[in-house]
Amino acid sequence: QKEVEQDPGPLSVPEGAIVSLNCTYSNSAFQYFMWYRQYSRKGPELLMYTYSSGNKEDGRFTAQVDKSSKYISLFIRDSQPSDSATYLCAMSADKIIFGKGTRLHILP
């Protein structure tokens, strides 16, 4: 079983829809959970950072961590074409492990 599993997509949704992106993991030692956004031919940028379980909200973005289920989610409300990118989950205990990324397309 891989440490971090993430569906590669692509995921296509119409503009204005709510997007749900998810990752599962196997290492119960993970304490820090992150989401990165990567536009084509660019480096990833840190979008959300969460410690332990719970929710964190920042504008249209909400990150959820359920440590009991080893499952993390990123929700994007009122999705925009500019949200089209690859989203990578990442988590760490002593070092950061990245998911392979989900490609998201927001259709105008």
- Sole binder of other proteins in the list 3, 15, 45, 78 (CB under 8 A): 45
C-beta separation of 32 from 19 below 8 A = no
Task: Give the number of C-alpha atoms closer than 13 A to the C-alpha of residue 62, restricted to the C-beta side.
Answer: 9
Shortest distance in whole angstroms from residue 94 CB to other proteins: 6
Query: Is the CB of 17 or the CB of 97 nearer to other proteins?
Result: 97
Interface map 59-88 toward other proteins (x if CB under 8 A): -----------------------------x
**According to the binding rule CB under 8 A, does residue 10 interact with other proteins?**
no
- Sole binder of other proteins in the list 81, 93, 105, 107 (CB under 8 A): 93
Torsions phi, psi of 85, nearest 5?
A: -175, 180
- CA distance to 18, 34, 78, per residue, from 14 (Å): 9, 25, 10
What residues form DSSP beta bridges with 58? 61
**According to the binding rule CB under 8 A, does residue 42 interact with other proteins?**
yes
Shortest distance in whole angstroms from residue 12 CB to other proteins: 18
Task: Give the number of C-alpha atoms closer than 13 A to the C-alpha of residue 16, restricted to the C-beta side.
Answer: 1
* Nearest alpha-carbon partner for 63 in 87, 39, 86: 87
- Name the residues that contact other proteins, by CB under 8 A: 8, 29, 31-32, 34, 36, 41-46, 49, 88, 90, 92-96, 98-101
